[in-house]
Amino acid sequence: MKTFAILTSGGDSPGMNCAIRAFVRTLIFNGHKALGVRKGYEGLIQNKFIELSASSVGNIMQRGGTILQSSRSEEFKKKEFREIAIKNLKDQGVDGLVVIGGDGSFKGAYKLWEEFNFPVIGIPGTIDNDISGTEYTIGHNTAVETAIQAVDKIRDTAFSHDRVFLIEVMGRNSASIAIKTALCSGAENVILPHQEIDYDEIADSVKRGIQRGKKGSIFIVAEGAREGRSYDIQVKLRDDYQIQSRVCILGHIQRGGSPSPKDRLIASEMGHKSALALLEFTQPLITAVHSGKVIEVNFSDAIHKNNDEDHDYLHIIKTLSI
């Protein structure tokens, strides 16, 4: 019988619990033992392990967030703390580790392999869908759905009052949520995370809309480097172009909530395959979606950000928002 551990790291995302459940039950089904690490890499450093039984992961599929909790650990970036983590893993008799998280979390996991030859498998989990080596990261679909539902509601008010709305969605470095939300909610424009804003163009599009008899305009703004960036855009539109607008920052409601069927399916398959990958371990891998299927890819393919995701849609958004 072998013992394997799982942790969730970085921003939580809907579907993480499905992956934890599938990992634990696959191990137990095959006669092995599963441990959970509390609060990501912090828990690894602080030796916070709990045994996960089949029933301890019951009734969690439908819950957002992560039952193990998460953290963004600064300490784990230092080798001295990774040495403590490895000692704790070995003291607990752990033979391999699954890390669910984004590119930062994967970089940390890969260090455990590079420095200590410790078996690691990654499951991409972030609402941002911005990891190289996979078409999909768990939680993204649910986050986009949440954002679209919110924009639909705001559009009712935009229409009723002939208003311009700047709706800010998550994505510090990723445009994926913004682009999909814009296309699926019929937004008039989308502003990308680090884009130089062309205010003349924005003002023209608002004026064009008014001439065509449009009732209200929706702009989707990716939060970029700083949450609240929409307020600067609002002031500029008001002072330089005499365009009044309202701001709505959707914020962390996009990270929570019950995972969509797509997230449950992919997370369950990834959790299952991550356990099997540890049982047959030869090298660090990541579960990834390629051409719609869950497969395993080399860990090193997936430790970078992918920021081009969904940019092909920009032209469609522009064309359809005339």
Of the pair 42, 128, the CB lying nearest ligand F6P is at 128
Please give the positions annotated as active site: 128
Two tokens, residue 36: 């959970």
Q: Which position has the token pair 């208003």?
A: 163
Q: Which is nearer to ligand F6P, 13 or 217 (CB)?
A: 13
What sign has the CA pseudo-torsion 200, 167, 153, 318? positive
Distance CA 166, CA 177 (A): 15
In the numeric block, the tokens 């939060």 are attached to 223
Site string for ligand F6P, 2-21 (x = CB under 6 A): ---------x----------
Residue nearest to ligand F6P (CB): 11
Any contact of residue 255 with ligand F6P (CB under 6 A)? Answer: yes
Of 139, 183, 144, the C-alpha closest to 289 is 139
Beta strand ranges found along the chain (DSSP E): 3-8, 33-37, 49-52, 96-101, 120-124, 164-169, 189-191, 217-222, 245-249, 285-290, 293-298
Q: Of residues 6, 166, 170, 266, which one binds ligand F6P by CB under 6 A? A: 170
Applying CB under 6 A, among 107, 172, 262, 304 the residue interacting with ligand F6P is 172
In the block, which residue shows the tokens 């008014």?
Answer: 210
**Which CA distances in Å does 82 have to 49, 109, 112, 161, 263?**
16, 10, 7, 56, 31
Distance in Å, CB of 224 to ligand F6P, minimum: 8
Residue type at position 33: K
Contact string (CB under 6 A) for ligand F6P, positions 214-233, x = contact: ---------x----------
Smaller CB distance to ligand F6P: residue 223 or 296?
A: 223
Q: Which residue shows structure tokens 């703004």?
A: 221
CA atoms of 273 and 261, how far apart (whole Å): 18
Least separation in angstroms between CB 3 and ligand F6P: 29
Question: Six-digit token pair at 301?
Answer: 């393919």
Q: Token pair for residue 170?
A: 């998550």
Angle in degrees, CA 128, 37, 20, rounded to 5: 55
Residues numbered 88 to 147 that lie near ligand F6P (CB under 6 A) are 126-128
Judged by CB under 6 A, the residue of 43, 108, 119, 171 near ligand F6P is: 171
Q: How far is the CB of 144 from ligand F6P (least distance, A)?
A: 12
Q: Using the 8-state DSSP alphabet, how is residue 259 labeled? A: P
Please, which residue, 95 or 223, has the CB nearer to ligand F6P? 223
Q: Which CB sits closer to ligand F6P, 170 or 183?
A: 170
Q: Which is nearer to ligand F6P, 9 or 189 (CB)?
A: 9
How do strand 120-124 and strand 49-52 relate by DSSP bridges? unpaired
CB of 124 to ligand F6P, least distance (A): 12
* In the complex, least distance from residue 26 CB atom to ligand F6P, rounded to whole angstroms: 26
Smallest gap from Cβ 257 to ligand F6P, in A, equals 13
Stretch that binds ligand F6P, among 41-49, 113-121, 168-176, 272-280 (CB under 6 A): 168-176
Q: Which residues sit at the interface with ligand F6P, rule CB under 6 A?
A: 11, 126-128, 170-172, 223, 255
